[in-house]
Chain A
Amino acid sequence: MFKWLHPLAKPETLYHFCRLCYPWLMAAALLLLALGNIWGLAFTPPDYQQGDSYRIIHLHVPSAIMSMGTYSAMAIAAFTALVWQVKTAQWAALALAPIGAVYTAIALLTGMAWGKPMWGTWWVWDARLTSELILLFLYLGVIALSGAFSDRQTGAKAASLLAVVGVINLPIIHFSVEWWNTLHQGASITKFARPSIDASMLWPLLISILAFKVLMLALLCLRLRTAILVNEQHRPWVKALAGER
């Protein structure tokens, strides 16, 4: 594993690796998104209680899962950057922050749109909603902190440290529906038992989740490439790359 990963710590290798992966990942993400959403929105049976409005689940649940997944990926990258001083891991952490922030915003907005017909209100101060909102603030904090220093390197390190500290919020979000008795329903897929959702609805949902995950990886490749070019702009290989085009 380390033998395979180690060359990728070198910016030039990582740049070419990302360039190679990006088109495949993006194509797969678009395909899966189309498949999952068209199947979920048009061809699944309506819910016996919620009718057709439950279909927003195909946007809400994947973005909510990936808002936390992206945060853990960012925190792992940040931790790697802090402990083993891997520069590329630091750039990856910063590249992930805006992606995660947008996923969190999508989860919150689709949740509000779902809450209005079902609970009769756009927003309640419920444990899960509040902790997801805190997650958005944490993402914004990481982004703001990385841009607040005149020295880019210091900003990146400080933001990595904050990302690691903010991990404390992840278990709070995940278990908020179990610890507090809330309006938001409990987990129906991510639990150690049979999922409490019918198979005809589950499959398109799983495809959507996978699609959001692959989309995150594709966007990460794109943003990481840009970050590598910006940070290594004085290196000969970047100059050669810019010269050849």
Chain B
Amino acid sequence: MVTLGCFIKRELRLLARQKADWLNPVLFFVIVLTLFPLGVGPEPNLLRLMAPGVVWIAALLSVLLAAERLFKDDYRNGVIEQLVAARQPLLSFVLAKLITNWLSTGLPLVLLSPLVALLLNVDSAAFAALALTLLLGTPLLSLLSVLGAALTVSADKGGILLALLILPLYIPLLIFASAAVEAASMAMPYQGQLAIMLAMLLFALALVPMAVQSALKLNVS
């Protein structure tokens, strides 16, 4: 527990010093969302129809943008190698990465969701669903992007490869999240979709940290 606290403190300090790492993805999210009304036209009903899908796709892309740099610096300056060589359990390092990754990319998206709802003309019922799906879904996005980043950390061309690896895994989440928001905007119950998202999150939470650990180990061996 002590080491987990230390790692979290270290990650937060790094994030506070390199603000571009977490500010850029958030800015990217807002920019993509403002581009959509310009691209498809500012018709309010059309925007309301498209809002769930657009918001979720923007969220996927911005998380992906943040994922690429997740382990790169630690790999280059040898932190990961030292942790593996010192036979330290990597789990607390991985958990700290996960938690801080969600705090720096997932949480801002949840906090921005009222603004997004305002921009895309989403009514209040659908807004509640949108905020809930973002709250349940962004931790899962963080889990999968940490896994992708760990797999490709020593690869030659990480960026596009990362997208190819984790976007297919994001698709089930995208389907259920936009279905939930759509159901909410038609005043239908959407607890079922939320329950499936929660199940996916818990399942990933149980297994992904282990996979990340072994991915990091095989990248330095």
| B-binding residues in A (CB < 8 A) | 82, 130, 134, 137-138, 140-141, 144-145, 148-151, 154-155, 157-158, 161-162, 164-166, 168-169, 172
Contact = CB atoms under 8 A, between A and B. Distances in A.
B219 A148 contact: no
Interface in B139-181: 147, 151-152, 154-158, 161, 164-165, 167-169, 171-172
Contact of B168 (A82, A138, A158, A164): A138
A149 B155 contact: yes
A138 B167 CA distance: 9
Contacts of A165: 147, 169, 211
The 7 A-B pairs of least Cβ separation, nearest first, read: A148-B155, A137-B168, A157-B218, A134-B168, A141-B165, A141-B164, A158-B151
The range of chain B's interface size is 20 to 34
Given A145-B155, A149-B156, A158-B218, 6 more contacts: A134-B171, A141-B164, A141-B165, A141-B168, A149-B155, A158-B151
Contacts of A172: 172
Nearest to A160: B218
Chain B contact surface mostly: helix
Contacts, number: 60
A158 B215 contact: yes
Interface of B: 147, 151-152, 154-158, 161, 164-165, 167-169, 171-172, 211, 214-215, 218-219, 221
A158 B164 contact: no
A154 B219 contact: yes
Contact of A148 (B157, B214, B215): B157
Contact of A137 (B152, B158, B167, B214): B167
Given A161-B214, A165-B169, A148 B147 contact: no
Contacts of B172: 172
Nearest to B153: A158
A151 B221 CA distance: 10
A158 B153 CA distance: 10
A166 B168 CA distance: 9
A144 to B, nearest CB: 6
B119 to A, nearest CB: 26
Given A148-B152, A149-B154, A158 B219 contact: yes
